[in-house]
Amino acid sequence: MAANPADFLHDRAACDEATASLNLELRDYKHEDDNQEFDAETDATQAASIARRLAKAITDVERHTADLARPDNDDAEKRRLQRALIAATALRDRLQIASTAHTGAPAYLAAVKGDQTDGQVAVLTAAIAGVLAHRDTLSK
């Protein structure tokens, strides 16, 4: 249940003080909301980049595996292909780990934090409107 400004604020000065404080807090949450939106855009860009790089790494692992299986490779070619396969496999594994940072629990928790911030903005906006409406009812 929301607090009623009339229960706490008995003159215009108290309303002005409450409004200033609420506006400052609202600015903080709006700033946090802007940062979360920026982080989401950055995460989306990073996720797309990781997905592209991961697809290439998977293709490279498959290609090096197939090349290594060819019977006509000499020892030097086998060593080169083994090194290339090891490098491609390591890159693929690192990218698979990195891609999980943009899904699952971390993504869900970021969404919850965004909802929490949006809720705070709504509460503060309503509180400011309530204080201003109450202020208008007070004598000058």
pLDDT of residue 40: 85
From first to last of its 140 residues, the chain has per-residue pLDDT tens of: 678 998 999 999 999 999 999 999 999 999 999 999 998 888 889 889 999 999 999 999 999 999 999 999 999 999 999 999 999 999 999 999 888 776 778 778 888 999 999 999 999 999 999 999 999 999 87
What domains does the chain contain, in order, with CATH numbers? 10-137 (1.10.287)
pLDDT of residue 1: 60
Q: What is the dihedral of CA 80, 85, 87, 91, to 10 degrees?
A: 160
pLDDT of residue 44: 85
pLDDT of residue 107: 79
**Nearest Cα residue to 119 out of 26, 40, 8, 17:** 26
**Nearest Cα residue to 124 out of 45, 46, 52, 21:** 21
pTM for the whole thing? Answer: 0.66
pLDDT of residue 98: 86
Q: Are 130 and 2 in contact (CB under 8 A)?
A: yes
